[in-house]
Chain A
Amino acid sequence: MNRQTLLGWSFLSPALMAVVMFFLLPVILTVVFAFTNMSTSTGILGGEYQISESDLRRLPAAGVSNESVEMLAGAGYAVRPETLALFASDFGDERADELDALHGGAVFDDRRAIERALKDLRRDPIRSVRDRKAAAEMFRISILGQRYPTEAAFADAIADIGVPDADRAALTEAAYTGWTFTTQNFELLWELPATWRYAMNSVVYVVLTLAFNVSFGLFLAFSTFYLPTRTAQTFRAIWFLPRILPPVLYVLMWQWLTWDQGFISTILRPFGIEPINWMRHTATHAWTFIVLINGCVGASLGMILFSSSLRAIPETQLYAAQVDGANRWQQVRFVLLPQMRWPILFITSYQTLSLLTSFEYILLATDGGPGRQTEVWALAAYHTALSNYGGNLEYGLGAAYALALVIIGILLSALYLRFFNFRELVAKPRIEQ
């Protein structure tokens, strides 16, 4: 490798690292997560082995015989010769004898009950809570609710209580608390009626917002193009505000505008129009405002890009057009627009991809309402994976939603590259050939 190549790589390496860290790695993780049943309950970094009370009724369906289930379901604590011997070795024969006299042969359902029994010791009571807890553990005969960090420890535990060999594999599988690989997320997505609604919502959102973005961006670019430079810059700066405002603040201003006690309602009241919540009244209202909220942010990017490419067009062409008697509209239509093909295509493709995955303004404005009619695919992914009142976040299912977006995004990018004819774009200008 010569020095120049090395230098090239070293210049590239920050970008490469960024691509790996912020694109490849998240994509790979999304793919992996999408094929798991990962949720808050399963944890992220793996699980342990545990059979709890509520697991018992699921066991027959998991292929564990009833005999084993009954074996697991038995009482938790028993005062028997072998447990007493264990107790005697740590807490003395005298206490063991007294307990045997009081509760010999008794079984207890839970730890509270055995602790109460231990409190009955009078001659030499176990005074500390911690010691009593330790003593109670010695009488445990059930593995219910016990967590075993490794499969081997669990295997030993179920062997000890005599679970038949045939059931051990199924039981171990059922006892695992961590996540496992599965394709059920995709089956679920396919089955759920809401999936199609979210997909349609996304299409509506992207198409409408995109149309607004591009046409309004173009309008702003052309209308400021003919203004004196300083005035044009002021206008552009104003239209750039939505993009630089913090989204929370920006959306809050829209909320003030649209509340039923907000600006629009107040203005319209003297005209006999009943105050309504303009943003949430119906789905049409909601979509209109979502398109406006997102569109005003998106249009500013288009405006900047279009303006700069307009200025790159030699002014002489406009003079020539004027000489030929073309009015402003004809100049725009026949001289300027045809030369704007690339920037328009670029903005269209770039915005499609970013709109597909963006949901923050919808989250802040309507949170998918009214009645989930503005819940787009990306917002559904967020709600599933990261927001749940009941506390059980479904990372796996959320990742499956996200994976669909990743795939669509990659396909569209490939399509755009082909459509743009990327090679032609980066080819040397003919004049240099």
Chain B
Amino acid sequence: MKQMTCALALLAATAATPVLAEDINITVWAGGSNDSDHYRIDNIKIAADILSREAAIRGEELNITVEGKRDFDGWDGFKQAVTLGAEAGNAPNIVVTSHLDIAPWASAGYIVPVEDYIDLDAWPLNNVYSNLMEIAAYDGMQWGVPQDAESRPFFFWKETMEKLGYSAADIDAMAARVQAGEYTLRDMLADAKKAVDMGLVEEGYGFYPRVSNGPDYAQFYQSFGGELMDPDTGKLVLDRTAMTEMYQFFVDAVEAGVTRKNHIGTDWDQWYSEVANGKAAFWHGGTWHYGRYTGKEGNEDFFGTIGFTLIPAGNEAGRANTVTHPLVYLVTDQEEDRAEEIAAQLVSIASEPRLNTLHAIASSHLAIGKAEAALDLYAGDRWASEATEVLLPHANAQPNHPSYGAFSEAMFKGLEAAWSGVQTPEEAVAEIEAQMSATLGDELIIR
């Protein structure tokens, strides 16, 4: 009897649990994200729901709990949290971060390539723009998946341009003229000076650049013919002529009275409210600024008041350009391979055009894939469509190189020194050359 009961119990147990329920906790940390970026985390939650349903159809029980966190103390705080977490063995499963983190984090072993777990040739990843996929690749491996795309346009205030004598047709043709290299940074400087002289804008508001270091300044280096990385050797490039001319451009802007000498470090809130309301003639920013200008800053007629183009070329050697600095989904190294696999699958599902469009439109970013343009939500958004068309085809990214951070910091320090008049452009370039060759060594080509 006892044996019977045992056997029955065993049988019942086996029958009742045809599959083992699998519980997986996935944490997502998103750096540099504010309220409008909540889909960086929410899309992973939606993906988890889809993945669980797919598993259920296959007869498996997969319970995924997604926890998100995006309130970090700036980028520095976020990066410290991720790296120290990874060292301590409790890194979040998925991080949303700058593509520039791929090189150092891959080398340190904090992240695993997503290509280990997902098919890059299958939907939805085969829909992602290949140049964006490349930005999330490093050393021949696909480490991450682009989370969003953006680009950094040059803006101008249309009313000021009209008063400078540009007709409506001229203003409409600006984007094309800049792209063709007919309207350069030097032309812009002359216009900005005229605007200041005519009293259309206050002194220092002719050209009103970004107030802190960022990918934006690499654009001006490219405008003057600079190249960030040598495509053949993969080494970083310091082009002395281009760098000197770029520094000189900002020095000239200060001397002409169109840009303030102590502009760097201006408060961001002040900056946003000024550019969104026509206090500056020319400035540059990012595609996501659209949301801020039309939202918090209260510009109700964006397209009627603000025009945008690529960053104009600076001279013959340079080209009109824009840098895209997409954030990427990365999967971190975990003890359990299964957690990495689920994380990678979630990232893949979150890249579905519909899901990514939610993020793109909610946060004024651009699409990561071709199919998004066909979705009503995306196509119906004038800013997303126009910006995609004018900017994205010409966008390049900063190189994924472990020492790019040192390069970028040095470039900006030199710019700041020349801009604020501490050093001449030549002195500043000489100093960053010394600094870069000491810190980068063989990884740098000096031209």
Which A residues fall within an 8 A CB radius of B?
A: 39-45, 47-48, 52-54, 57-58, 61, 110-112, 115-116, 119, 129-130, 132-133, 144-145, 147, 177, 188, 191-194, 255, 259, 261, 276-277, 280-283, 366-367, 369-373, 383, 386-394
Contacts and interface: CB of A to CB of B under 8 A. Distances in A.
Interface of B: 75-76, 79-80, 83, 87, 97-98, 100-101, 103-105, 107-110, 115-122, 139-142, 213-214, 233-234, 260-262, 264-267, 270, 341, 402-409, 412-413, 416-423, 431, 434-435, 438-439, 442
A244 to B, nearest CB: 22
Given A112-B120, A191-B434, 17 more contacts: A40-B79, A42-B107, A42-B108, A43-B87, A129-B122, A132-B119, A133-B116, A177-B107, A259-B267, A283-B422, A366-B265, A369-B264, A370-B261, A371-B418, A373-B420, A389-B409, A392-B404
Contacts of A145: 139-141
A28 to B, nearest CB: 19
A116 B438 contact: no
Contacts of B122: 129
A367 B412 CA distance: 13
Contact of A280 (B76, B119, B265, B418): B265
Contacts of B97: 391
A373 B413 CA distance: 11
Contacts of A147: 109
Given A194-B431, A387-B76, A255 B267 contact: yes
A48 B106 CA distance: 12
A57 B405 CA distance: 21
A133 B109 contact: no
Contacts, number: 156
A48 B107 CA distance: 9
A370 B119 contact: no
Contacts of B408: 389-390
A177 B117 contact: no
Nearest to B203: A274
Contacts of A383: 409
Given A194-B431, A388-B409, A40 B108 contact: yes
A371 B270 CA distance: 21
A47 B117 CA distance: 23
Q: Which of B109, B121, B434 has the most CB of A within 10 A?
A: B109
Given A57-B234, A259-B267, A391-B101, A116 B403 contact: no
A111 B260 CA distance: 52
Contacts of B267: 255, 259
Contact of B104 (A40, A111, A276): A40
B110 A43 contact: yes
A390 B105 CA distance: 11
B104 A391 contact: yes
Contacts of B409: 383, 388-390
26 contacts: A40-B105, A41-B107, A42-B107, A43-B108, A44-B87, A45-B87, A48-B109, A110-B140, A119-B121, A132-B119, A133-B117, A194-B413, A194-B431, A369-B416, A369-B420, A371-B416, A371-B420, A389-B100, A389-B409, A389-B412, A391-B98, A391-B100, A391-B405, A392-B104, A392-B404, A392-B405
A144 B141 CA distance: 10
Contact of B265 (A57, A194, A370): A370
Given A111-B115, A392-B402, A191 B438 contact: yes
B229 to A, nearest CB: 11
A53 B405 contact: no
Contacts of B87: 43-45
A318 B213 CA distance: 59
B253 to A, nearest CB: 15
A401 B329 CA distance: 34
